Amino acid sequence: MKVQPFHLAIPVSDLEKCRKFYKETLGCGEGRSSDHWVDFNFFGHQLVIHYQDPQETKESTSNPVDGKEVPVPHFGVVLQWDVFHEFAKLLKSKDINFIIEPYIRFEGKPGEQATMFFKDPSGNALEFKAFKDMSQLFAT
């Protein structure tokens, strides 16, 4: 099966603040937009941020994974190993407030991966991860 880019739409409470975050902080290219939504090139995938009244947002929860509290819901992408580490350095230089600092999860076990979590200005949790060996992506 040929892999195609995914499309993801998320709610944001401040369209302009989030537009700046995805464009300037994360470096995502901006595509089409209106006064209620903005498309981004999210590492080769289509991410659309949609304005949602803050009164309508729901609280997130977390699940324990490898001794860390992983926010639920969350979304993100799998990056190449070197790209992940360069991106992590860039985010640290921009003073991102990490939920989970970049680290190696499941070290020495099946599915070993680099991972990090942080939130956008509207509180949407993002995860970025990388595998030295991509065959470990679905390892059990």
The CATH label, of 3.20.20.140, 2.30.110.10, 3.10.180.10, 3.40.50.300, for the domain at 7-51 is: 3.10.180.10
Beta bridge partners of 77: 128
| CATH code 3.10.180.10 region(s) in the chain | 7-51, 70-136
CATH class of 70-136: alpha beta
Predicted local distance difference test score (pLDDT) of residue 57: 62
Predicted local distance difference test score (pLDDT) of residue 62: 86
Burial 89-106 (b: 16+ CB within 10 A, else e): eebeeeebeebbebeebe
pLDDT average per 10 residues of sequence, the chain (140 residues): 80 95 97 93 95 77 89 92 97 97 95 96 96 90
**Greatest extent of the chain over all pairs of C-alpha atoms, in Å:** 48
